[in-house]
């Protein structure tokens, strides 16, 4: 997953030059220093993790919502806050679906270019759907990859349910994530249409922040299927058009690369936002990276204020990682 940025290559060249000049230096003091460095580094990293946790807790203090956070820095250092609750995923589960669709296609020997026929009846009129807006009469065939672009890029609800129909429903997606990826702290039981018809069913599709962050880590670091599928999912996440006021907001103009998937719910009977979420990965110009998952449940804040909480969390993590590089 690591990107070979020019700055990193330059740093490596400098290190190599220094090592060449130090060939005849007495090794013993250097070895002792290295041993001491290894002993001290875990303490330093643990302290930095504690520092980030404290900063994040300050960000979410006194907010009228239940907020869960998971951060995995450079695929190792992990911080979680309020990770024990079940957070409604809302459209974040379209990422889980995309992985299950890729597995389905690979096992069936299907390319992402394989067309799927879309009927007018598949295009529900009372839900968010750029697909329906563009093709209101249906009766067309679109390749699987275009439907995935609609789900991951635009979070289209009709495209999501069409893919469920073609690949075994929510049960198949839940089974893939549970059996193939080994995840347990989540559930996928309701389609987009079912959630729209009954808001309570939004709570049936849930995850802890860390479980979703772990899934993203697998997508980035483990070969799950052929790159035709896996590479496509990653690059499509990097062109996500939704939630620009959330994780992506503080990264604008920072030369960071973000891939993410959002989820947004309606208000429940108590007037609370059922869920507002953003999960994804960030590549930094210095070669560092991190995975982040933020779930907000039953928010009594406004939509704008709830999105700003996610943006503030994102800004806090970004500043922490860039200010604490050990490379």
Pair type for strands 206-207 and 87-88: antiparallel
Structure tokens that stand for 105 in this block: 């296609």
Q: Match 């406004």 to its residue by tokens.
A: 302
Number of CB atoms found within 10 A of residue 228's CB: 14
Pair type for strands 140-143 and 115-118: antiparallel
For residue 2, being part of any structural domain is answered with no
Structure tokens that stand for 74 in this block: 């450079």
Q: What is the tally of structural domains in the chain? A: 1
End-to-end CA distance of the chain: 17
Instruction: DSSP for 190-206, please give it.
Output: --HHHHHH-GGGGGGSE
For residue 48, being part of any structural domain is answered with no
pLDDT score recorded for residue 46: 75
pLDDT score recorded for residue 27: 37
Per-position pLDDT tens, the chain of length 327: 433 334 344 434 433 443 433 333 343 455 444 344 444 434 445 778 899 999 999 999 999 999 999 999 999 999 999 999 999 999 999 999 999 999 999 999 999 999 999 999 999 999 999 999 999 999 999 999 999 999 999 999 999 999 999 999 999 999 999 999 999 999 999 999 999 999 999 999 999 999 999 999 999 999 999 999 999 999 999 999 999 999 999 999 889 999 999 999 999 999 999 999 999 999 999 999 999 999 999 999 999 999 999 999 999 999 999 987 654
For residue 153, being part of any structural domain is answered with yes
For residue 162, being part of any structural domain is answered with yes
The closest of 102, 93, 97 to 279, measured between CA atoms, is 93
For residue 13, being part of any structural domain is answered with no
pLDDT score recorded for residue 297: 98
Give the domain CATH number at 164: 3.40.710.10
3-state secondary structure of 83: coil
Point out the catalytic residue in the list 75, 91, 129, 289: 91
Pair type for strands 87-88 and 77-81: unpaired
For residue 122, being part of any structural domain is answered with yes
Is 289 among the residues known to form the active site? no
CA distances from 43 to 49, 104, 159, 290 (A): 10, 44, 48, 20
pTM as predicted: 0.85
Instruction: Please give the residue range of the domain that contains residue 129.
Output: 64-323
Residue 178 half-sphere exposure, CB side, CA atoms within 13 Å? 13
Distance (Å, whole) CA 172 – CA 236: 22
The closest of 224, 184, 242, 204 to 90, measured between CA atoms, is 204
For residue 18, being part of any structural domain is answered with no
For residue 31, being part of any structural domain is answered with no
Distance (Å, whole) CA 191 – CA 20: 60
Residue 171 half-sphere exposure, CB side, CA atoms within 13 Å? 2
């Amino acid at each position: 997953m690591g990107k070979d940025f020019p700055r990193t290559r330059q740093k490596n060249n400098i290190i190599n030059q220094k090592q060449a000049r130090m060939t005849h230096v007495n090794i013993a003091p250097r070895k002792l220093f290295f041993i001491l460095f290894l002993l001290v580094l875990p303490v330093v990293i643990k302290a930095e993790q504690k520092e980030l946790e404290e900063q994040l807790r300050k960000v979410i203090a006194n907010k009228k919502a239940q907020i869960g956070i998971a951060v995995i820095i450079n695929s190792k250092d992990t911080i979680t806050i309020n990770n024990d609750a079940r957070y409604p995923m809302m459209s974040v589960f379209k990422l889980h679906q995309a992985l299950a669709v890729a597995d389905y296609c690979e096992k069936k020997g299907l390319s992402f270019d394989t067309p799927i026929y879309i009927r007018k009846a598949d295009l529900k009129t009372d839900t968010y759907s750029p697909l329906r807006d563009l093709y209101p009469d249906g009766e067309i065939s679109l390749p699987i990859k275009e439907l995935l672009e609609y789900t991951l890029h635009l979070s289209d609800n009709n495209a999501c349910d069409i893919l469920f129909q073609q690949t075994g429903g929510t049960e198949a997606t839940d089974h893939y994530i549970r059996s193939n990826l080994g995840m347990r702290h989540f559930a996928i039981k309701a389609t987009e249409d079912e959630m729209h018809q009954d808001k309570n069913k939004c709570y049936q599709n849930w995850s802890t922040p860390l479980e979703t962050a772990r899934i993203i880590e697998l997508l980035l670091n483990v070969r799950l299927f052929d790159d035709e599928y896996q590479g496509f999912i990653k690059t499509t996440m990097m062109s996500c058009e939704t939630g620009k006021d959330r994780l992506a907001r503080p990264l604008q103009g920072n030369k960071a690369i973000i891939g993410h998937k959002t989820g947004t719910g309606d208000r429940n009977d108590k007037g609370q936002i059922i869920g507002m979420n953003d999960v994804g990965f960030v590549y930094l110009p210095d070669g560092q990276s991190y995975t982040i998952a933020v779930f907000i449940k039953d928010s009594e804040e406004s939509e704008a204020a709830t999105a700003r909480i996610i943006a503030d969390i994102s800004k806090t993590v970004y500043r922490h990682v860039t200010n604490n590089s050990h490379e």
